[in-house]
Amino acid sequence: MNHGTLLVTGGAGYIGSHVVQQLVERGERVVVIDNLVSGFREAVRNAELVVGDVGDQRLVANVLATHHIEAVLHFAAHTVVPESVSDPLKYYGNNTCKTRNLLASCAEAGVRQFIFSSTAAVYGMPADGAADEGTPTMPHNPYGASKLMSETMLRDISATGAMRHVILRYFNVAGCDPAGRIGHSAPNATLLIKVACEHAVGKRASLSIFGTDYNTPDGTCIRDYIHVEDLAAAHLQALDHLRAGGESLTLNCGYGHGYSVREVIDAVERVSGHQLTVVEQPRRIGDCAMLIARSDRLKRALAWQPRYDDLDFIVRTALQWEEKLAHRRA
């Protein structure tokens, strides 16, 4: 069957660029809209890049009409939790209001399939440290709240019959393209595995642990780390689900088990061959002891199976990308 063109918003960013690469590799026609504030032009490989903002309804309407867009995969967002606490209106403006504008443009153009990049931050702090899709949503920061508001808008517009959707709630995304073609290049990163790998290659002088007295086996937070390539594959399967007439879904994206901060540090030391300089800091406000995905629904609904569920492999691909970036700077 000959499918239409896909629009990927934020497709020059970390996760979006990996999804674009997988889409192009299987023969899809892809157009990317990205304002390049946190994305990189060179990360968009073999797809058309339109530099602009997803909140610009005139621009989006023109792209939707010109390219006869079949489906939208929406990644464009601010994602730094501490920044969302210090500047909440920036997050509600960008993540929520601009998503509203994008949805309005899609409805006007008759786009009937929409895949939304959401987050486990919508759950806040589940009592037992694990969340399935029925776990109450109680975000503890404006980032999570901004994404949850967008989920609500998407469900409400879908309820009118205007479109069907898949919402994917990411847990902790890590790693990079195993072939080293694209990766996570954002400056001032806050994601643990990237930060630890930056330290391992000499970009950072030390690595901080925030909280060592949690009720976990080694006292540090436990998180569910999913390789970006496995996450990207879930988006392609979500697209296939919608194309086949599947119902709207909300799905967790994680492996269903976690690693502590100290276990991640051990893996980075093991893979890099370097001992890391670790600085113990007080707990950060809003961090929970453990957050793990229950992702049975993802496997069942989309027949998704992870390929890279191995911490050392995740670290190795992240470290290879940091070494590549360090070589460019040298």
pLDDT value, residue 14: 97
The one catalytic residue in 14, 91, 143, 214 is 143
pLDDT value, residue 189: 87
Residue ranges per structural domain of the chain = 5-174+225-253, 192-223+256-329
User: Is the model's pTM score more than 0.85?
Assistant: yes
- Averaged pLDDT in 10-residue chunks for the chain of 330 residues: 90 98 97 96 96 96 97 96 93 97 96 98 94 96 97 97 97 97 92 97 96 97 98 98 98 98 98 97 90 97 97 98 88
Q: Which tokens hold the place of 302?
A: 């989309």
pLDDT value, residue 287: 87
192-223+256-329 folds as UDP-galactose 4-epimerase; domain 1 (3.90.25)
pLDDT value, residue 1: 53
pLDDT value, residue 244: 97
Would 5-174+225-253 and 192-223+256-329 be classified into the same CATH topology? Answer: no
Q: Which tokens hold the place of 88?
A: 């909440």
pLDDT value, residue 330: 63
Residue 143 is among the residues annotated as catalytic for this protein: yes
User: What secondary structure, in 3-state letters, does the chain show?
Assistant: CCCCEEEEECCCCHHHHHHHHHHHHCCCCEEEEECCCCCCHHHCCCCEEEECCCCCHHHHHHHHHHCCEEEEEECCCCCCHHHHHHCHHHHHHHHHHHHHHHHHHHHHHCCCEEEEEEEHHHHCCCCCCEECCCCCCCCCCHHHHHHHHHHHHHHHHHHCCCCEEEEEEECEEECCCCCCCCCCCCCCCCCHHHHHHHHHCCCCCCEEEECCCCCCCCCCCEECEEEHHHHHHHHHHHHHHHHCCCCCEEEEECCCCCEEHHHHHHHHHHHHCCCCCEEEECCCCCCCCEEEECCHHHHHHHCCCCCCCCHHHHHHHHHHHHHHHHHHHC
pLDDT value, residue 252: 98
5-174+225-253 folds as Rossmann fold (3.40.50)
- Structure-token match 């899609």, residue found: 106
